[in-house]
Amino acid sequence: MNGFSSKAIHGVSLKKDIHGALRFPVYETAAFEVGTARDMELVFEGKKAAHAYSRITNPTVEDFEQKIRLLSEAFGVVAVSSGMAAITETIITLAEAGSNIVTSPFLFGNTISLFKTTLKRWGLEVRHADMTDISSLDKIIDEHTRLVFAEVITNPQLEVADFSKISAVAAGRNVPVVLDGTLTTPALFRSKDAGIAVEIISSTKYMSGGATSIGGVIIDNGVFDWRKNPSLAADAVKIGPGAFIMRLRREIHRNLGSCLSPHSAWLQSLGLETLALRIDKSSANALAVARFLESHANVRNVNYPGLSSSRFHATAKRQFNGKFSGLLTFELKSKDECFRLMDSLVMIRRATNINDNKTLVLHPASTIFADYPPSERARMQVNERLIRLSVGIEDVEDIIDDIRQGLDKL
């Protein structure tokens, strides 16, 4: 069983359900009975594997984690309550006050806020590097750098860096790379093959199977020697390659309490089964929509890594096996034109999410970037003429017809 979808559908056999249910059940319970007092002692000592309390582990959540581990051929996976929880737990596991992390200036809005405000107050320094300029990245890493953090396709710039190069530079400095792979997931990009130490994913997006629930996953690809991380070195010498996952599971995740609910884990396991189908369809739809937009007289320019006009086309094509995910942006003449187009759309919805089954449209400058001063917005390559489209899995003719009737009216 080697195919992505076969693995996503059949998963890993955990304990057989007592009724033989073919779909892994939702174990909606806070606590589990372990057996004898001695069994309980062994479980608490970590010497016997059993579920005790759902903040720490839960069978339905474990089923979801093990499917993702199988799909990414990873060392270990921890599922958490959101993409933001995945980022927070990972950074807190690997860095400490007085250390620094190196990241791109192009990041998801709440990630910027987490780094710039929340973690800064706890003494973490955040340094910025251009991820497409390997020598600048190398220069900025020093002995206090605990990790390099990047996004697989930045939003809304749609920049795609070369991740094998980034992880090679970071490895040369004994630093792990943490990648936010939300927009690709293991269905489009095998981060392990690119030497990425930890991949985090907001499973709210593609994985949830149509925006059903909020969730996140932390994937330890098993390619980084944790003895090189000062915070994990002692553990890694004692317990070996499990140091990161153990610290995460037994300390950070437990203490922060950002557990995924069994019901959300169940929905997201269901989403995983059709992930490859949906990502293929939305990628194909996005490419067709991008080509249509490029051909329309009222569109000034289109940004999509699947178009040969994108600076990142060759890198993206090589890394993502010829598919480019569902997100694109395009420019009209003015903010007024953007608003008029958006309001004339009939099927396409005005909403902030991405990688939904539904095609969603958003005006970044007046919404997710509204709090940024204009100079900062310009640095983020967001102007008032820009529209972001997250292309769904509807019939592509209907998506294009909807946009065409709006554009023709401008």
Ligand X SMILES: *Cc1c(COP(=O)(O)O)cnc(C)c1O
Q: Is 402 in the site for ligand X (CB under 6 A)?
A: no
Q: Is 364 in the site for ligand X (CB under 6 A)?
A: no
Of 57, 72, 82, 212, which lies in the binding site for ligand X, with binding defined by CB under 6 A? Answer: 82
Of 129, 214, 341, 396, which lies in the binding site for ligand X, with binding defined by CB under 6 A? Answer: 214
Site for ligand X in 341-360 (CB under 6 A): 354
Site string for ligand X, 90-119 (x = CB under 6 A): ------------------x--x--------
Distance between CA 193 and CA 311 in Å, rounded? 23
**DSSP helix/strand/coil, 39:** helix
Site string for ligand X, 132-161 (x = CB under 6 A): -------------------x----------
Alpha-carbon separation of residue 76 from 54, 222, 257 (angstroms): 18, 8, 19
Query: Which residue spans within 132-262 are E strands per DSSP?
Result: 145-151, 177-180, 198-202, 216-220
Q: Which tokens hold the place of 336?
A: 């007024």
**DSSP helix/strand/coil, 387:** strand
Distance between CA 358 and CA 89 in Å, rounded? 30
Q: Which residue of the chain is nearest ligand X when measured via CB?
A: 83
Of 156, 186, 209, 216, which lies in the binding site for ligand X, with binding defined by CB under 6 A? Answer: 216
Nearer residue to ligand X within complex by CB, 11 or 216: 216
Nearer residue to ligand X within complex by CB, 93 or 268: 268
Of 60, 184, 191, 204, which lies in the binding site for ligand X, with binding defined by CB under 6 A? Answer: 204
Nearer residue to ligand X within complex by CB, 180 or 384: 180
Nearer residue to ligand X within complex by CB, 82 or 145: 82
Site string for ligand X, 313-332 (x = CB under 6 A): --------------------
CB of 204 to ligand X, least distance (A): 4
Half-sphere exposure for 42 (CA within 13 Å, toward CB): 10
Stretch that binds ligand X, among 41-49, 98-106, 161-169, 201-209 (CB under 6 A): 201-209
Give the single-character DSSP code of 365.
G
Q: Is 282 in the site for ligand X (CB under 6 A)?
A: no
Q: Is 83 in the site for ligand X (CB under 6 A)?
A: yes
Of 65, 159, 162, 180, which lies in the binding site for ligand X, with binding defined by CB under 6 A? Answer: 180
Q: Which tokens hold the place of 121?
A: 């107050």
Alpha-carbon separation of residue 52 from 27, 31, 355, 371 (angstroms): 12, 6, 35, 44
Distance between CA 272 and CA 108 in Å, rounded? 23
Alpha-carbon separation of residue 98 from 122, 125, 167, 360 (angstroms): 9, 7, 23, 41
Q: Which tokens hold the place of 348?
A: 């396409």
Of 54, 57, 202, 269, which lies in the binding site for ligand X, with binding defined by CB under 6 A? Answer: 202
Alpha-carbon separation of residue 232 from 94, 174, 228, 246 (angstroms): 7, 13, 8, 10
Stretch that binds ligand X, among 58-66, 80-88, 114-122, 141-149 (CB under 6 A): 80-88
Q: Among 52, 61, 60, which residue's Cα sits nearest to residue 85?
A: 61
Nearer residue to ligand X within complex by CB, 231 or 264: 264
| Tokens 């983020």 belong to residue | 380
Q: Is 84 in the site for ligand X (CB under 6 A)?
A: yes
Using CB under 6 A as the binding criterion, the count of chain residues that bind ligand X stands at: 14
Q: Which residues bind ligand X (CB under 6 A)?
A: 82-84, 108, 111, 151, 180, 182, 202, 204-205, 214, 216, 354
